[in-house]
Chains A and B, each alone.
Chain A
Amino acid sequence: MQRESGAQGTEASGRRRTLWQALARLGPYLGGLKLRWTLGLLAAIAAGVVALSIPQVLQTLVNSLLDDGAQVSAVWSASGVILALGVLEAVLVYLRRFFVIPPASDAETSMRTRLFDKLQDLSASFHSAWGAGQLQSRAIADLNLLRRWFAFGSLMLITSVVSLIVGFTLMATLSPLLAVVFLGAALPIMVIGPKFRQKFVHFSRASQDQAGDVATKVEESVHGIRVLKAFGRGDYALEGFTQEADELRDLEVSKARTLAKFLMAMVILPEGILGLCLLIGLWQVANEESTGVSVGALAAFFATAAVLKGPIEGVGMMLGMTFTAKTAIDRHADVMDTDTEITSPATAKTAEEHGVLELADVHFRYSDAKDGERDLIDGVSLRVEPGETMALVSATGGGTSTLLNLIPRLYEVTGGAILIDGVDVRDFALADLRSRIGIAFEDPILFSTSVKSNVLLGTSHLRDADDPQNPSRAAAPAEEDLEQAMYGALRIADAEFVEGLPQGVDTPVGEEGLSLSGGQRQRLALARAIAASPSVLLLDDPLSALDVRTEEAVTLRLREALQGTTTLIVAHRPSTVALADRVALLEHGRVTEVGTHSELLERSPEYREVMSASVRPVSAEEVLSYE
């Protein structure tokens, strides 16, 4: 929903942007391009001029053979001139590409990497709203298209226009009257031109967006393949995909049809008018005494008109390409114009690392929340002392994961403040803040690399020395201790199973870690959170996929390891709560109770309800009445 409305909004803004404004947006990428592009343009125009002049030169040269009588030297010199021109033409064509291709590719690459950087900086809410394929199609297909336009389309458009103008001027000098008539052909084109533009841009935008949707479907169908297989719903997915692909096909065909109509007009109008010119011209020549138009002039006129044929067609095609390129720019701008809400402050504060975590009247609501509804996090105040382990308990959907995500600023609080070691998280440099925090999400989010790279994700493993996101911390394991840190973390997470994997810690874990069992994945995610020895540890239901025994082992080791680490742990079970010194109950967006497990069990009926399996008995009738 969100994305659609967003895309519509941006399409509107894209429509308002003119081609020039769109191009101006590319300024930052074109640094190295401008000079070379201009040189390339000159080469292209020069090549065009040479190509046009060769036949003329040939004609005069061959005629000169006649004048001088039989002169061998004339043959040689004529051939020499033609050879020189021929070589020049080839060289110019080579130069055009030589000048333009590398900087165009550089521009493409820098757009691509900047887009990637931008995307990585955009918040989780942006990412959940945008289909994966939309981003991917912007990063690859759109930019390939732009490169081709820079390197080829833009030059050809200009050269075509230039030859059009030159040809037309030539024609006007030969026969002003016919030139005026011919100009009449341009009028209807001026009328249909903007219409064509509008329609074509619409279809090109729609089809590029649709291509993104198709890619999204592909991605989802692969990521969700287990579900599709479990229910045998490959056909169903195929149906959905086919619909999208079908729409893409329709849009592409409509786009081509629009272009085809324009191309047709670009042929019929000038050539049709030329037909009229022929009629008029013949009449004029037949009445040469009164009109003064000679046969020679008529023939020359049509010879010149023929020169315009190529450029006119070229302009049609290249306009199509240009509009598609503009769409690509618009789509690029959509993403680049999105505000990166979560950034490091201009002047960052920092604090000595103790691990005091304080939530002060924290409010948060998702952007799509209904008006008038209370905030999802509605004024949470809580203080976790250094080294303390605090469990956070709520009913399903109570907002615990959301709250956890607020601390490393994956989402931004909408009210109140979160303080770590006395400093508002918004005042820390992001890297500083996040390097203090270790987090285990409720779904493991592993990468398809080795166990080792996954566990050491938060450390300096496989980072360049000058990685700005790896601020030095006293507690962080040094380069040479990484191995040890990894084994330590694996031990605490009871993830020693990795030793038994085919290549030990170097075993690739498969896409999203899916060649491991559920519990194994979760333990790797847990090990990852602790490996960098953060001062604040956020664990989102870290034991949910573990059996009671493993859970016990992990709990024991964690308890020991967590001694000095401030920990906020989301718990759904008493066994997880057992890790905690104190428990906070999150209810209706607020922390309503804080105390030890047994205190709360005694004191709070709500806590008892959430923490014990003995719920209000549901009668058989009640359940059956659901059916």
Chain B
Amino acid sequence: MSETYAGDASGRRETGDRFAHLRGTAGEEQIELDREERGFIRRRSWRLLVQLSVGVRRKLLLTAIFVVIAQAAQASIPLIVAWAIDWGLPRMTEGRSSGMWLPGSAYIACAVTAGILIFHYTRMTAEASQEMLFTLRGEVFRKTQALSLDFHEDYTSGKVISRQTSDLESLRELLDGGVNSLVQGVMFMFFTGVTIWIMDWHSGLVLFAALIPIAVMARWYQQNSEVAYRRTRVSSAKMIVHFVESMTGIRAVQAFRREDSRSRQYRRLAAIYRDDMIRSISLFGVLQPSLMLIGNLTVTAVLLWGGYRVLEGDLSIGVLVALVLATKRVFQPLDMIAMFYNSLQSATAALEKVSGLLEESPSVTEASSPVHLKDAAGDLVFDRASFRYSDAGPVVLHELDLHIPAGQTVAVVGRTGAGKSTLAKLLARFYDVSTGAVRLDGVDLRELAVADHHRHVAMVTQEAFLFSGTIRSNIALGRPDAAETEIIAAAKAVGCHELIMELPEGYATDVAKRGGRLSAGQRQLISFARAFLADPAVLILDEATSSLDLPSEALVQQGLERLLGNRTALIIAHRLSTVAIADRVLVIDDGRVVEDGAPAELAEAGGYYAKLHAAWQTSMGA
């Protein structure tokens, strides 16, 4: 039954969309595209490039102007020399020193102008390019943060990193070199071409004819390099994903002796990348000499035809020399333009991927006119809420009806995989319910302003994740504007102040990558302190004490009881010790609430909880 909706997770694929398979990151690894498909993808990349240029367009234009002027200044230098000889020298022999000073200072003025402009346009190019990259980095970051967990679960961090690093690097190459070489090249070719036409239109025709093979080559190159570069983007991403995962899981890699097989795998991926890279470079390696060859053939043709006409007396020999030299020169910048084109191809291939990522839309979004909730009491309702992680997957929560009045402390217990964390994640709105609704103080979470939701509901996730950086900043994540004293108070409340003070630099100790500097229990305590600091109306603790020793856990428990005050709390635990402070226990099994009541009641009732309770008591050796 789910088949019909397969792949409609985020609702981005409307029926009848010709390009559904390419939207977002879906078609990321597809390399061969048909005409329309590539049109679609290219348009998307171009749109992104154009959008990015907002704000730096003036700078880019100015850069182009500077390039033109600098070029002109440099190009006029030989003219000044000629002028000095033709005009200056006779004047000097007449005894007028202006014949010397004027050309001399004009020369120096041109040189200085060119130099200064080169300085400015080099600087401005970098500024504009970095500005665009900065914007794009921010955009991608914001997008990845906004995207929901279902996206991240299969996209993997390695790909995000590859988008943010190596793809952006390609764009950077284009931006850094692009404008200058393009403007310079086009300008130069244009002017030289025009002079050729003016000198002799016959040769102009030859030049024009040369455009045909050039166009053919360009087309050939475009079609092939597009595919080749797309391939490199895909293979580079694969390589990065493998790299990132190997480094993240390095302890398991080493302990299970997978260095060698991971290395082989990496070698394979790196070899594929190498081949793809060489293929794309070789295409350029064909394009560049071909263009040169076309240029040189044109020179020969001009010489040949011109030579005949000289023989027939239709053309003066001086003009022929000038023509042939100009024809040779006109093709020189073609190299530069080709290089620009090359980086353009590479950058568009990268932008295809980046624009795809940016096109993704989060499945969990803020309503267009969200309800604001300044203060929340913490009244929670699950109204016939059911949930599945993907449309093809099993139902994880079955039509759940549940009311948790404000201020209640609810313990959630149940077998592993029963759906406890899922319940919590729905409250934290990591996901939206598939059917039904979840409400806070009567407001559907989907209608609630995201900022308010975050302010009122905080969750300590099952995975105690710490960011590299100080302990202080990790706790402060719960409430970034908290004062130092508040941070310390939170740490004291969960009983980790002493241990923090024992660390080399106290609260300023860097916890290293993922909090690796701390023990598992210590990490949990810090995560816990974070939640306390957040001071929400609804606090969700998902196995927040599972790695603690019993005394620490008990300490946390006791602190918790007092600190919960009139907060609503949802405490997921396997250790029934936690349940002691709960007003109410929910037993979840296979996505359903199977028992619901006060702890004492349930212990008597002889159900699942009673068994758990008994098992717990024996296991505690009591």
Contacts and interface: CB of A to CB of B under 8 A. Distances in A.
A19 interface: no
B420 to A, nearest CB: 8
Contacts of A140: 165-166, 236, 239-240, 243
A116 B455 contact: no
A611 interface: yes
B562 A457 contact: no
Contacts of A519: 415-417, 574
Contacts of B325: 55, 58-59
Interface stretch (A119-127, A414-422, A556-564): A119-127
Contact of A397 (B253, B430, B519): B519
B303 A368 contact: no
Contacts of B103: 278, 282
A574 B141 contact: no
B594 to A, nearest CB: 13
B78 interface: yes
B145 interface: yes
B141 A221 contact: yes
Contacts of B378: none
Contact of A282 (B104, B110, B166, B310): B104
B440 to A, nearest CB: 14
Contacts of B274: 105-106, 108-109
A431 interface: yes
A549 B612 contact: yes
A52 to B, nearest CB: 11
Most buried by A among B116, B392, B497, B517: B517
A497 B590 CA distance: 12
Given A54-B328, A231-B530, A234-B146, A613 B577 contact: yes
A211 B307 CA distance: 58
B477 A236 contact: yes
A588 to B, nearest CB: 13
A463 interface: yes
B264 interface: yes
Given A113-B270, A225-B149, A295 B89 contact: yes
Interface string B520-546: 111001010010001000000011001
B190 interface: no
A598 to B, nearest CB: 8
Nearest to B452: A232
A136 B165 contact: yes
A139 interface: yes
Given A221-B141, A271-B115, A447-B249, A91 B289 contact: yes
B268 to A, nearest CB: 10
Given A75-B311, A231-B534, A268-B112, A102 B393 contact: no
A1 B553 contact: no
A518 B320 contact: no
Most buried by A among B107, B116, B256: B256
A216 B492 contact: no
A227 interface: yes
Contacts of B521: 396-397, 572
B543 A545 contact: yes
A512 interface: yes
Contacts of A70: 311
B324 A511 contact: no
A40 to B, nearest CB: 12
A39 interface: no
A546 B574 CA distance: 7
Interface string B284-297: 11101110110111
A141 B111 contact: no
Interface string B128-169: 001101100110011011100100111011001100111001
Interface residues of B, number: 195
A469 interface: yes
A274 B77 CA distance: 10
Interface in A292-309: 295, 298-299, 302, 306, 309
Interface string A51-76: 00011001101110110001110111
A268 to B, nearest CB: 3
Nearest to B505: A1
Contacts of B160: 218, 222
B267 interface: yes
Contact of A410 (B84, B145, B255, B455): B255
A627 interface: yes
Interface in A610-627: 610-615, 617-618, 620, 623-624, 626-627
B266 interface: yes
B122 interface: yes
A611 B278 CA distance: 63
A137 B80 CA distance: 49
Contact of B415 (A97, A231, A549): A549
Interface string B454-473: 11001111110101100000
B416 A517 contact: yes
A435 B259 CA distance: 13
Contacts of A470: 257
B328 A615 contact: no
Contacts of B249: 445-447, 512
Contact of B574 (A94, A214, A469, A547): A547
Contacts of B421: 517-518
B454 A578 contact: no
A573 B259 contact: no
Interface string B544-560: 00111111111100110
Interface string A417-452: 000000000000011001101010111011110000
Interface in A367-381: 368-370
Given A245-B137, A260-B123, A511-B152, A547 B414 contact: yes
Given A113-B267, A119-B247, A547-B413, A253 B126 contact: yes
Interface string A509-542: 0111011111110010000100010000000010
Nearest to A116: B266
Contacts of A97: 281-282, 284-285, 288
Interface stretch (A25-33, A77-85, A153-161, A188-196): A77-85
Nearest to A435: B257
Contact of B116 (A63, A83, A128, A264): A264
A435 B256 CA distance: 7
A98 B119 CA distance: 35
B553 to A, nearest CB: 7
A101 B416 contact: no
Given A82-B299, A618-B558, A572 B550 contact: yes
Contacts of B248: 132, 223, 512
B415 A263 contact: no
B205 interface: no
Contacts of B621: 574, 597, 601, 611-612
Most buried by A among B239, B296, B459, B518: B296
B513 A623 contact: no
B164 A218 contact: yes
A603 interface: no
A496 B424 CA distance: 24
Interface stretch (B28-36, B39-47, B93-101, B216-224): B93-101
A329 interface: no
A510 B317 contact: no
Nearest to B267: A113
A474 interface: no
List the 9 shortest-distance A-B pairs measured between CB atoms, nearest first: A86-B296, A232-B454, A519-B416, A256-B126, A271-B111, A396-B521, A75-B307, A268-B115, A275-B108
14 contacts: A91-B289, A113-B267, A116-B246, A120-B262, A226-B465, A238-B138, A253-B127, A282-B100, A397-B519, A410-B255, A439-B255, A448-B156, A548-B615, A618-B555
Given A397-B518, A572-B548, 7 more contacts: A124-B251, A132-B513, A237-B145, A282-B84, A396-B547, A612-B621, A615-B555
